[in-house]
Structure 1
Amino acid sequence: MPTEIVDGVYDITCKHDESYMGGARYRVFLFDGDVPTIIDAAFPDTTNRLIDGIEKTGVVPERLLITHGDGDHIGGYNALVDRYGVETWVPNNLSVSTRTEGVGLDTDPDHRFSDGERIGRFEAVHVPGHTEDSYAFVDERDGIAVMGDVAMGSDLRGFPPGYFVLPPEVWGGDVNSAERNLEKLLEYEFEVGLVYHGSSVLEDARDTLEAFVNFPGKVYYETVVRNR
């Protein structure tokens, strides 16, 4: 069943793998509003569950945004286009992952976006590291950041929920860049940070992210050790 995780925003969990990483969840987010928008599309083989979840919300998506090209984020792209005729937006440097079979775009996207582009209520923020094409979407009006895979919920790694962690190295990418580039999100104001894996952070999300990025040891090193 979909869950209205904050007002007008639905978490549609398409897969829950209890055997992997403490219970990995794979989800999409559906935003109600002037232009109902779905962000990401889950796996190719979860499209029936995704569409069923959308139907249960009563919201008909008109726009699809893609955060990056991993199969669990872009796999249902074709099904959503076929079912709803959504306007599609994908990263200008989209790289479709080869790690998931059956992933591909049957129709060219309507739009390609780059860092800083406004798409309705959202601003696209390029945060490479997990993948080169990784983006987050920030809606400062309502104080919501959709993190893509630039960060994940701490409970995915066995910690208490309510915090952010980096994607694990086994999922590919450059962990150092992934951490360093999170600083870009601190330029924005948001209260809620929605993640695709693990539990989202629903209060003080920006401050929580800043505490993770600018931890005391880093601040000490940058202000004291580096300047010796």
Structure 2
Amino acid sequence: MATEIAEGVWRIECRGVNAYLVFDDVPTLVDAGTPWDEAAIRDGLDEADVAVSEVGRVLLTHYDLDHVGTLAALAPDLDAPVRAYGFDAQLLRGSRSPPIRNHKGLIQRLGGLVTDRADLDVVGVRDGERIGSFTAYHTPGHTPGHVAYVSGELGVGLLGDLTSASDGDLEPSGWLISYDTDAVATSVRDLAARAPSFEVACVGHGDPLATGGGEALRRLAATV
């Protein structure tokens, strides 16, 4: 199911996780659900009147089974670059493997057993890079290559799993699903300080905030 949560911003509900479609300079798919969400992604795009072939780019906040899972299934129809950062881009390309000495890395190793590698053009992201109207901010902790994307023009923050949302507030990524929770806290504070103001907070888990997203991030930054 897809819902327009703000003008030009669609939430696509997958299995316990959110993907998004944002109408920027090109239709932009943000994250891509689990390996079992192909129908949800395709149907969600269709509800927003966008064909898979019309997606102009994919912005990945990070590499995890529930954020890259449908890319391989979409690949035959998807003619768009996939943007990812550093270590997470290497995982997506298959040029590195998650470390088994980190508990989250071990979870990713197990997730990789059911995640097909997509035959797509994976393009690296740089911290501070402008992509459409969005600026990329490296926000490590949940994963080493986690990235948030914020558009001051659109008033939208794509926060991935840096935070989740509950009852209108944001919460930091917890220990079980993070490489490093100290780095998560640092990234929350850094993003709150660096990013322009925004209203819509698009999170991987929980209901996105249609208003007050930037203020919710600043409140969280003051407590971590």
TM-score (norm 2): 0.83
Q: Greater Rg, structure 1 or structure 2?
A: 1
SS of alignment partner, residue 147 of structure 1: strand
Displacement of 1:93 after TM fit? 2.2
Where has structure 1 moved over 4 Å in runs of 4 or more?
none
CA distance in 2, matches of 1:109, 1:83: 13
CA RMSD in angstroms comes to 1.7
Give the structure 2 partner of residue 46 of structure 1: 37
Give the structure 2 partner of residue 13 of structure 1: 13
Q: 2:153 aligns with which of 126, 135, 141?
A: 141
SS of alignment partner, residue 98 of structure 1: helix
Alpha-carbon contact 1:166-1:179 (below 8 Å) kept: yes
Unaligned runs of 5+ in 1: 16-24, 155-160, 219-228
Q: How many residues align?
A: 201
Give the structure 1 partner of residue 176 of structure 2: 170
Q: 2:130 aligns with which of 102, 112, 118?
A: 118
Q: Which has the higher contact order (CA 8 A, sep 6+)?
A: 2
| Counterpart AA for 2:42 | I
TM-score (norm 1): 0.82
CA distance in 1, matches of 2:181, 2:62: 16
Say whether residues 1:92 and 2:86 are aligned partners. yes
Unaligned runs of 5+ in 2: 93-107
Indicate the larger mover: 98-107 or 124-133: 98-107
- Identity rate of aligned residues, in percent? 29
Say whether residues 1:200 and 2:194 are aligned partners. no
Alpha-carbon contact 1:90-1:109 (below 8 Å) kept: no
SS of alignment partner, residue 83 of structure 1: coil
Give the structure 1 partner of residue 2 of structure 2: 2
